[in-house]
Amino acid sequence: MNIVILAAGVSRRLHPLTATLPKTLLPVRDKAILEYICDAARKNDLTTITIVSGHGHATLEDFTDRYHATYPNMQLTLRHNEQFDTAGNVM
């Protein structure tokens, strides 16, 4: 089974917290929100995740690279939505 995570929005209501980070990478306790989601998927044998990115694409790319290096069986794919600021997560 595949998982799709919509993480392209700007999250203006959370500014200034999301000025440099996408909402899914904001820390909660000791981990980013996205890490909690990926960990839950991994623990339930869901190893294929597609993340639709926009705002903060480069930081999401860094996260997916680090996560995959730690858990090589996880297949994390980023799909960049270049129109994230106007079209939301519509691709």
Q: What is the pLDDT of residues 14-51, one digit of tens each?
A: 788 778 889 999 999 999 999 999 999 999 999 999 99
pTM: 0.86
pLDDT for position 42: 97
| Sheet containing 48-53: order of strands | 2-7, 48-53, 75-80
Distance CA 23, CA 19 (A): 9
| Torsion on CA atoms 59, 64, 67, 73, rounded to nearest 10 | 180
Pairing verdict, β 48-53 and 75-80? parallel
